[in-house]
Amino acid sequence: MRVQQLSATALQAKLVQVESLVLLDVREPHEFDYASIAGSILIPLQQLPQRLSALNSASVTVVICHHGIRSQQAAEYLAAAGFSAVFNLTGGIDAWSVVCDASVPRY
């Protein structure tokens, strides 16, 4: 399974369509506390292997970080672990803030 890229606007459209998505944020807790997308769950990247069982491999999973680099690593890990539908949020929470929701602080 190859990781698919998802833009902030494409994610916004999916959320409006009420698709059942898991928004997995892999940043650190202090980053998540400062800025996050509503409904996201936090599992920092380095904790992902130990907490993998908390996720459903059959769910559509969108992985989020600050700019899209850590989330790409996490998404590749999930895909290799057998997750069937994994997306990386291109540009991360920063792109979300700029393009979709200016109420989310930038850092």
Tell me which residues are annotated as active site.
65
Count Cβ atoms within 10 A of the Cβ of residue 6 and give its class: 0-12 exposed, 13-18 middle, 19 or more buried: buried
Residue 60 CA neighbour count, 13 Å, CB half: 11
